Amino acid sequence: MTLSRLAFFRAGGSALPGYRLSLTLTLAWTGFFIILPLSTLLVYPWQGGPAAMLSALHDSRMLAALWTSFSCAGIAAACNIPFGFLLAWALARGHLPGHRLADALIDLPLALPTAVSGITLATLYGPQGWLGAVLAEFGISVSYNKAGIVLALMFVGLPFVVRAVEPVLRNLPQELEEAAHLLGARPWQVFIRVIAAPVLPALITGFGLAFARGIGEYGSVIFIAGNQPFKSEIAPLLIVVRLQEFDYPGATAIALVLLCVSLLSLALIGGVRRRFALWSEPA
Amino acid sequence: MSIEVCNLVRLAPGTQQRLLDDVSLKVPDGAFVALVGPSGAGKTTLLRAIAGLDGCNSGSVLLDDRPMTSVKDRAGRMGFVFQNYALFPHMTVARNIAFGLDVLPRGERPARSAIAKRVEELLELMQLQGMGGKHPAKLSGGQRQRVALARALATGPRVLLLDEPFGALDPIVRRSIRTWLRELHDTLGLTTILVTHDQEEALEIADRIVVMQSGRIMQDASPQDLDEQPATEFVMEFLGEAVSFSGEVRHGRMIADDALVLPFAVPEGVTDGPITAMIRPYEMTIKKPGSAQDVLSLYAAPRGTRNGYRHYTLQLGERIIPFYRPVEAADAQVQGVALDISRARLFRQGLLCG
Amino acid sequence: MTRYLVWGASWLFILLVLVTPPAMVLTEALKDGLGASLATLSDPDAQSAIWLTLRVSVVAVVLNTIFGILAAWVLVKFRFPGRQFLQILVELPLSISPVVSGLVWLLLFGAQGWFGPTLERWNIHIAFAVPGIILATLFVTLPYVVRTVMPVMEVQGRDAEEAAVLAGAGFWQVLWHVTLPGVRGALLSGVLLTTARALGEFGAVSVVSGHIPGETETMPLHIENLYNGYQSVAAFTMAALLAFMAMSAVLLRSAPDWIARLQEKKA
C-alpha cells in the first residue's frame, strides 16, 4: 500500500513524461527566488536578538507609518466598493454604451507603471493640477496629506474590485430577478436581496485584494503623499528610509509586519471564498 | 382562477419575426393545460407573456376577466417555476420558500412565526422535511424542483405556471414527480399551465393539450380528441409515431399509391381527389390469407417488445414501415396478403378532412 | 431612467478617474512642444535608462517564461504532496509589497546581507548594481506566466498528451507539439503581462539599484529623479514613453482576438 502510493507520487500520479525534470527545475527556481529571499525576512530581524526585535517593533514612527498605510488602504478599498460595484454592474448587466472601451479602461491602473501613476496623480491633484485646482476651489486639499494617499490607493485598487465583482454579476441568471419580481419583490428589494447579496463574497474578495495591494503600494503613493513622518508617511516608504539609514533590522521588522498582514488578508479572502462557495454555485 | 389570452402578438425584438402570432387561449378555473410543441414553437414565450415577464406588441391577458398589465398585478397571484428553477443560491431552502412573504410590505407581511409555520407546511407538502436549512447547491435535481414549486406556492397563488419543469430530471424521478404534481394540482384546486416538449408527459398529466407550432396554436383539445381527431398532419406526427400513405379518393374509397394496401371507404363528405392517410403503427392490421391460393406477399420482421406491443418492420414495396401488434396477439412471424389501414385519419393540404 | 443614471455616473467616473491621468501625462510631456520633449530623450542618462530597462525586461521575460511553462506543467499535469503549497509559493510575489521584494535581495546580497560580504571579497557586485535589478525584477514578475497558463492547461486536460506519449513522443516533443500550441493565447498573455510589469517595476528596483544615473537607473527611477529635480517635461516625456510601452504590452494581449475578428470579416 505505502509502496504503491510512493510509486504513485514518484511518477506524479500520471503517465506523462518530464515529471522529475520539471519538478526539479521548478523547485530550484522557487527555492532560489522565493524561499531563500523570504526566509531572510523571517530570520534577519532576530539576528540581533529578541530584544532588538522588540525595540524595533516599538518604534513609534514605524507604528504611525503602519497605521497610515493600513487606515488609508482600508478607506480606499472601502471607497472602491460602491464605485467598483457601479462599474461592474454597468459592464456586466447595464448594457453600458461603449462597454468595450470602458472594459479596457478599467485595467488602466494595472497597466500604468506605478512611477507614472505616481507623478501623474501628484500633478493632477496638486494645487495647480486639473482636478486639484477644482477641489481647491471648495477648500479641499488632497495633495501631500492622507487624502492624497487614499486617492492614489483608490486609483490602483479599483480594478481589483471591479474584476472580482463583474464575473459574479455576469453569471447571475436573469431568471433570479424575474423570479423575485414574480414573487412580488419591489425593485429595491430585488436589488438588495437578489443582486447585491450573492455578490457580497465577491465584494469582500475585491476589498481584500485592493487592501492587500494598498498596504504595499509604493510608487503611485510617494509622490502625492507628502511623506511627513508621523503624518503622511507610508510603511513601504519608511522601509526605504530605514535602508538609507543602514538600519536593516528596522526595515526588516516593518517588512515582516507588512508581509504578515497581506498574507492574513489573503487567507481571510480564501476563508470567505470557502465559506460562501455554495453561494456561487448555480442552483 | 381562470386565465384568458386574447390575440397576443409578440415580435422578436428588432425584427418582424412573429414569436407569438395572434394567440388566443381560454383556461377555465381548475384546469390543467399542457402547452406542447417542438422547440421554437413559442410555448415558453406564451407562458412568459402570461406571467407578464415579457411585454407583448398587442393583445391582452385576463385573469378572472380582469386585464393584467404588469408583473406587479400578478405578484403573489401566479406561481412560476422556471426551467432551471432559478433558486436564489445564497439563501437557504427555507428563505427561498419564504421569499414571496418576506418581501410583502410591512402591513401585509405575516408575523415571523406565521411565515415559519407556512414554510414548514410547504416543506411537508413537498416531502422536504428537514431540508429548510440547506442551500440549494446541496440538493438533488428533484429536490430543487420541489423547492422551486414550494417557493411559487408560498403566497397561495391560484395559478401555477411551469416552464419545462421536468427537463433536468432523470426519467425515474420525472415519472414520480409527474403524478405527484397532478395530485398537488387537484388537492390545492389550482389552475395549472405546463410547458413541455414531451408529448407523452403532456398526454399523461393534462386535461387539455395545446399544440403550438411557429408561434401559433395548432390545436387545443383533450388528449382523447387530440388522438382521435388531430387537426393537422403536424399534430398527428407530433403526438406519436405515424405512417403516412398518399393516395386518391375515388367514388368514396381511398386507394393508396402503395401496392398491397387495401382500399377502404372514406367518411361521407370527403370529396374525390388526392389525399394523405396517416395511421399509428398499432392501428394497422395485416389481412391473413383467405384460401390456399392466396400469395403471401407481406412479411414483418420482429424488432423487440415495448410497452405491451411487439414491434415489427414491414417491407412495403420500396418502403420500410413500423408495425406494432399487442403482445398477446402477436406471432413470431407476421405474414399476410395485404395491409388494412382503414382506421387512418385523412388529410388534405395538411389539414384533417372528413 | 435608473439605467441612464448608471450610464452617466459610470462614464463620468471613468473619465474623471481613469482617463484624466494618461491625458495629463501627454499634455505635460508636450507642454513645450514635441521637439522639446523629444530632445529630453536624447540625454545620455535617459538613453542609458531606456537601454537598461529594455535589457532587464528581456532577461526577466525570457527566464520567467521558461520557468513559468515548466512550473505550470508540473503543477497542472501531476499530483504530488505539497503541490498546493508550491502553487501558493509561486503566486506569493503578487501579494508582497514591491519595496519588500527589493529589500529581501539587499538582505541576501547587500553589504550587511548574508552573502554580501563574501561576494564582495570575490569582487562580485549584486546589490546597487545591475544583477540586483535583474533579481528584483525576476522576483516580482515570477508569477505572471504560471498564473495565466495554468487555468488554460487545466481545461485542456491530459488526453492529448497521453495520446502523444502512447504514440512515442518524449517530454520536449509533447510540450512543444501538443501542450504549448493549446495554451498559445494564455502564454502570449502571460508573457505580455510579465513584460509590462518588468518595464514598469519601481519599488523593488528602487531599493536595490542605488540610483546611479547612467549606470543603475531604469526608466521608472529616471522618471522619479527628473520629477524630483523639477524637470517636468523630461519626466513626463519619459513617463509617456514608458506608459506607452507598458500599455501596448497589456493591450496587445487582445491582438489574437482582433486578428480572428478581422479574418472573420474577410471570410
Query: Are B99 and A282 an interchain contact pair (Cβ–Cβ within 8 Å)?
Result: no
Chain A CB contacts of C90 under 8 Å are 30, 34
Neighbours of B256 (CB within 10 A): 21
Neighbours of B224 (CB within 10 A): 9
Q: For position A273, which CATH number holds?
A: 1.10.3720.10
In chain A, residues 100-159 whose CB comes closer than 8 Å to chain B: none
The residue among B335, A112, A236, A21 whose CA lies nearest residue C67 is: A21
3-state SS assignment for residue C192? helix
Query: Are C203 and A219 an interchain contact pair (Cβ–Cβ within 8 Å)?
Result: yes
- pLDDT recorded at residue C36: 86
Spell out the alpha helix ranges (H) of chain B.
43-51, 71-74, 93-102, 112-125, 141-153, 171-188, 199-205, 223-228, 233-238
Residue B141 has pLDDT above 70, yes or no: yes
pLDDT tens digits, C49-93: 999 999 999 999 999 999 999 999 999 888 888 888 999 899 889
Residue B230 has pLDDT above 50, yes or no: yes
Are B319 and B272 in contact by the 8 Å Cβ rule? The answer is no
| B208-213/B32-36 β-pairing | parallel
Q: What is the DSSP letter of B295?
A: -
> In chain C, what are the domain boundaries?
36-256
- pLDDT recorded at residue A283: 43
Are A248 and A47 in contact by the 8 Å Cβ rule? The answer is no
- Alpha-carbon span B257 to B297, nearest angstrom: 17
Confidence of residue B160 (pLDDT cuts 50, 70, 90): very high
What is chain C's percent helix, strand, coil content, to nearest 5? Answer: 80, 0, 20
Query: Are C96 and A246 an interchain contact pair (Cβ–Cβ within 8 Å)?
Result: no
- DSSP codes joined into one string, A78-121: HHHHHHHHHHHHHHHTS--TTHHHHHHHHTHHHHS-HHHHHHHH
Question: Residue C109 contacts by C-beta under 8 Å, 6 or more apart in sequence?
Answer: C115, C116, C119, C126, C127, C132, C135
Residue B97 backbone phi and psi in degrees, to 5:
-65, -40
Residue B26 has pLDDT above 70, yes or no: yes
- Domain membership flag for residue A34: no
Nearest to A119 among C18, C165, C235 (CB): C235
Place of cell 497542472: C76
First to last CA, chain C: 41
* C-alpha distance from residue A268 to each of A212, A264, A272, B64 (Å): 11, 6, 6, 55
The residue among B48, B53, B60, B58 whose CA lies nearest residue B6 is: B60
Chain A CB contacts of C73 under 8 Å are 18, 22
Query: Are A283 and B87 an interchain contact pair (Cβ–Cβ within 8 Å)?
Result: yes
Min Cα–Cα distance to chain A from B50, Å: 12
In degrees to the nearest 10, what's the CA dihedral of B103, B108, B110, B112? 50
Mean of the per-residue pLDDT values for chain A?
86
- Alpha-carbon span A19 to C79, nearest angstrom: 10
User: Looking at per-residue confidence, does A75 or A170 come out higher?
Assistant: A75
User: Do chain B and C touch: 3 or more Cβ pairs under 8 angstroms?
Assistant: no
Residue A128 backbone phi and psi in degrees, to 5:
-100, -5
Q: What is the DSSP letter of A204?
A: H
- pLDDT recorded at residue C99: 94
Contact of B144 with chain A, judged by CB distance below 8 Å, is answered with yes
Residue C201 has pLDDT above 80, yes or no: yes
- Domain membership flag for residue A140: yes
Contact of A192 with chain B, judged by CB distance below 8 Å, is answered with no
Contact of A280 with chain B, judged by CB distance below 8 Å, is answered with yes
Highest mean predicted confidence (pLDDT) among A66-75, A190-199, A221-230: A66-75
Mean of the per-residue pLDDT values for chain C?
89
- Domain membership flag for residue A108: yes
- Alpha-carbon span A220 to A225, nearest angstrom: 9
Query: Are A243 and C165 an interchain contact pair (Cβ–Cβ within 8 Å)?
Result: no
- pLDDT recorded at residue B330: 66
- pLDDT recorded at residue A279: 67
Distance of CA A132 to the CA centre of its chain: 26
Share of chain B above pLDDT 70, in %: 98
Question: Residue A260 contacts by C-beta under 8 Å, 6 or more apart in sequence?
Answer: none
B98 grid coordinates: 419564504
The chain A residue lying nearest C210, using CA atoms, is: A244
Residue A8 has pLDDT above 90, yes or no: no
Are B161 and B50 in contact by the 8 Å Cβ rule? The answer is yes
Min Cα–Cα distance to chain A from B218, Å: 29
Residue A134 has pLDDT above 90, yes or no: no
Q: What is the CATH number of domain B3-231?
A: 3.40.50.300
Confidence of residue B279 (pLDDT cuts 50, 70, 90): very high
Chain A CB contacts of B79 under 8 Å are 182
Residue A4 has pLDDT above 70, yes or no: no
Query: Are A246 and C89 an interchain contact pair (Cβ–Cβ within 8 Å)?
Result: no
- Alpha-carbon span C116 to C105, nearest angstrom: 10
Spell out the alpha helix ranges (H) of chain A.
2-10, 19-30, 36-43, 50-57, 60-92, 99-106, 108-111, 114-124, 130-137, 146-171, 174-182, 187-189, 197-216, 219-225, 235-244, 248-275, 277-280
pLDDT, mean of residues A113-117: 93
Best to test chain A binding among C66, C101, C103 (most A CBs inside 10 Å): C103
Chain B CB contacts of A281 under 8 Å are 89, 137
Query: Are C242 and A110 an interchain contact pair (Cβ–Cβ within 8 Å)?
Result: no
Structural domain containing residue A89? 59-280
User: Looking at per-residue confidence, does B110 or A14 come out higher?
Assistant: B110
User: Looking at per-residue confidence, does B303 or A53 come out higher?
Assistant: B303
pLDDT tens digits, A65-111: 999 999 999 999 999 999 999 999 999 888 888 888 888 889 889 88
Are C26 and C240 in contact by the 8 Å Cβ rule? The answer is yes
Confidence of residue B106 (pLDDT cuts 50, 70, 90): confident
Query: Are B136 and A178 an interchain contact pair (Cβ–Cβ within 8 Å)?
Result: no
Confidence of residue A6 (pLDDT cuts 50, 70, 90): low
> In chain B, what are the domain boundaries?
3-231, 241-353
- pLDDT recorded at residue A44: 82
Are A201 and A277 in contact by the 8 Å Cβ rule? The answer is no
Question: Residue C60 contacts by C-beta under 8 Å, 6 or more apart in sequence?
Answer: C134, C137, C138, C141, C194, C198
Query: Are B103 and A193 an interchain contact pair (Cβ–Cβ within 8 Å)?
Result: yes
Chain C CB contacts of A36 under 8 Å are 108
- Alpha-carbon span B349 to B274, nearest angstrom: 10
Confidence of residue A173 (pLDDT cuts 50, 70, 90): confident
Contact of B82 with chain A, judged by CB distance below 8 Å, is answered with yes
* C-alpha distance from residue B81 to each of A265, B155, B203, C197 (Å): 41, 14, 20, 50
- Domain membership flag for residue A204: yes
3-state SS assignment for residue B97? helix
- Alpha-carbon span A72 to A75, nearest angstrom: 5
* C-alpha distance from residue C184 to each of A25, C66, C87, C147, C263 (Å): 22, 14, 21, 14, 18
Mean of the per-residue pLDDT values for chain B?
87
Query: Are B103 and A186 an interchain contact pair (Cβ–Cβ within 8 Å)?
Result: yes
Chain A CB contacts of C112 under 8 Å are 246, 248
C35 grid coordinates: 521637439
pLDDT tens digits, B283-297: 988 887 777 677 777
Residue A1 has pLDDT above 50, yes or no: no
Are C57 and C199 in contact by the 8 Å Cβ rule? The answer is yes
- pLDDT recorded at residue B352: 87
Query: Are A19 and C93 an interchain contact pair (Cβ–Cβ within 8 Å)?
Result: no
Domain count across chain A: 1
Name the CATH superfamily for C36-256: MetI-like (1.10.3720.10)
Confidence of residue A270 (pLDDT cuts 50, 70, 90): confident
Query: Are C224 and A116 an interchain contact pair (Cβ–Cβ within 8 Å)?
Result: no
Nearest to B136 among A181, A200, A283 (CB): A283
Highest mean predicted confidence (pLDDT) among B236-250, C36-50, C51-65: C51-65
